């Protein structure tokens, strides 16, 4: 029943352009930033299940996706930060403008079963970070933002010796293995990690909005099917899944 309902909602959202017979099925080639993996892995099967289209997706760095779009590579849909999509559109590499899909925030996690620290306010977060023996963060968007938070809190110098930089992979794994007492990353990237408890997002006064947006490259071979996929990802049918993965609809 649930799958039939989801399919009905999806079909009404994507429109007739995506509902084609098997002979006319399209394969939509998508490149997305890595953090999109956690929500798109759940959403794409819904889209495929309600249409005859298939999605071939790779998760890459922003630089790699930009290079693909600018080189005219076989790519039907790019998911990037909004400014990157806007820049590509100005360069004439994106058609149809930009669609904002989902918004991520930065959060904090600890090893499963460990006491959950107070992060309810900027002052509480400051005390928690200063009391921690080690704090892990990434080199990507969330990690760069976290370093700016330390500057705003006035504790950047005091925290330098405690920081554990995770070169790749989920930051939460550092807390799960005991390599760091606290893990800082986008909430949607912390949630799937086994062995940790997500304490919650950073307090509102220190929070950021990391937006993921979609654009269709001018080199797209399946622009209509790509439009249908974008329409679904931005639709009410997708919203409950987006929220369940620690994000907000764009």
Strands 135-138 and 163-166: parallel
173 lies in the same domain as 234: no
186 lies in the same domain as 235: no
52 lies in the same domain as 16: yes
99 lies in the same domain as 222: yes
| Of the candidates 250, 126, 247, the residue with the CA atom closest to the CA atom of residue 191 | 247
> Is pLDDT above 80 for 227?
yes
CA angle 209, 211, 212 (to 5 degrees): 160
Assign residue 200 the CATH number of its domain: 3.40.190.10
Strands 54-60 and 182-186: unpaired
Report yes or no: 227 and 17 within 8 Å, Cβ to Cβ: yes
Distance, CA of 200 to CA of 118 (rounded, Å):
10
The Cα-based distances of 155 to 118, 119, 150 in angstroms read 17, 16, 5
Which residues make beta-bridge pairs with 137?
Answer: 165
pLDDT for position 25: 83
Buried b (16+ CB within 10 A) or exposed e, 113-145: eeeebebeebeebbbbbeebebbbbbebbbbeb
7 lies in the same domain as 91: yes
List pLDDT tens digits, range 3-29. Answer: 444 444 455 444 434 444 344 689 999
> Where is the domain boundary, 206, 223, 241?
206
232 lies in the same domain as 164: no
> Is pLDDT above 80 for 175?
yes
98 lies in the same domain as 120: no
Strands 247-249 and 94-104: antiparallel
> Is pLDDT above 50 for 43?
yes
Could you tell me how far CA 61 lies from the centroid of its own chain? Answer: 12
Distance, CA of 180 to CA of 133 (rounded, Å):
8
197 lies in the same domain as 218: no
Residues with Cβ < 8 Å from 177, sequence gap 6 or more? 195
65 lies in the same domain as 112: no
Q: Return the residue matching tokens 């991520």.
A: 104
Average pLDDT over residues 58-86: 96
pLDDT for position 4: 47
> Is pLDDT above 50 for 188?
yes
pLDDT for position 111: 98
38 lies in the same domain as 113: no
Q: Choose between 136 and 2: higher pLDDT.
A: 136
Report yes or no: 41 and 240 within 8 Å, Cβ to Cβ: no
Average pLDDT over residues 45-62: 94
Distance, CA of 205 to CA of 15 (rounded, Å):
40
pLDDT for position 24: 63
138 Rama class: left (phi>0) / alpha (psi -120 to 50) / beta: beta
Domain with 25, as residue range(s), is 2-103+211-249
168 lies in the same domain as 182: yes
Domain count across the chain:
2
List pLDDT tens digits, range 229-239. Answer: 999 999 999 99
């Amino acid at each position: 029943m649930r799958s039939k309902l989801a399919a009905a909602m999806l079909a009404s959202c994507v429109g007739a352009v995506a509902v084609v017979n098997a002979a006319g099925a399209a394969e939509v080639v998508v490149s997305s930033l890595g953090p999109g993996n956690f929500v798109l892995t759940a959403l794409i099967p819904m889209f495929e299940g309600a249409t005859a289209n298939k999605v071939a997706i790779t998760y890459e760095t922003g630089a790699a996706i930009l290079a693909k779009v600018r080189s005219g590579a076989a790519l039907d849909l790019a998911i990037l930060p909004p400014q990157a999509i806007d820049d590509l559109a100005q360069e004439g590499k994106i058609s149809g403008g930009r669609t904002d899909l989902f918004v991520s925030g930065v959060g904090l996690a600890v090893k499963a079963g460990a006491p959950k620290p107070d992060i309810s306010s900027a002052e509480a977060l400051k005390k928690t970070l200063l009391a921690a023996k080690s704090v892990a963060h990434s080199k990507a968007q969330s990690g760069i933002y976290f370093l700016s938070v330390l500057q705003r809190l006035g504790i950047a110098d005091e925290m330098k010796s405690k920081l554990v930089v995770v070169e790749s992979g989920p930051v939460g794994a550092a807390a799960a293995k005991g390599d760091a007492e606290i893990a800082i990353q986008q909430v949607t990237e912390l949630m799937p990690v086994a062995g940790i408890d997500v304490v919650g997002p950073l307090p509102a006064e220190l929070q950021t909005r990391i937006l993921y947006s979609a654009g269709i490259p001018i080199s797209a071979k399946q622009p209509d099917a790509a439009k249908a996929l974008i329409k679904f990802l931005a639709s009410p049918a997708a919203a409950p899944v987006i929220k369940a993965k620690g994000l907000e609809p764009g």
